[in-house]
Amino acid sequence: MSGEIGPTGSEEKECQQKSQKQRNRSGFLSFRQLYCIALIVVFSASGMVSIEDVAFTIFSLVYVFFLSKVAFPLLGSSPDPPVFGQSNKILSIYVSFAAWIGLFLPIVYIFEGILKGDKEGIKAAVPHVFLLSSQVFMEGLTFNAGFSIPIRAFVPISYNSKRIFTIVDWLRAEIGKANNVHQGGLTVRVYFGIALAVANLLLWCFNLFGFLLPVYLPRAFKRYYGYKEKV
Q: For 134-186, write each residue's pLDDT tens digit.
A: 999 999 999 888 899 999 999 999 999 999 999 999 999 988 887 776 555 55
**Contact between 58 and 174 (Cβ < 8 Å):** no
- Cβ atoms < 10 Å from Cβ of 69: 9
Going from the C-alpha of 159 to that of each of 53, 72, 177, 183, 192, the distances in angstroms are: 10, 19, 27, 36, 25
Task: Calculate the CA 212 to chain-centre distance.
Answer: 12
For residue 24, what are the CA distances in angstroms to 5, 30, 75, 76?
A: 19, 11, 21, 19
pLDDT, average across residues 56-68: 95
Domain boundaries, the chain: 26-230
- What pLDDT, on a 0 to 100 scale, did the predictor assign at position 2? 62
pLDDT tier for residue 3 given thresholds of 50, 70 and 90: low
pTM, 2 dp: 0.84
Convert the pLDDT of each residue in 106-124 to its tens digit: 999 999 988 888 787 789 9
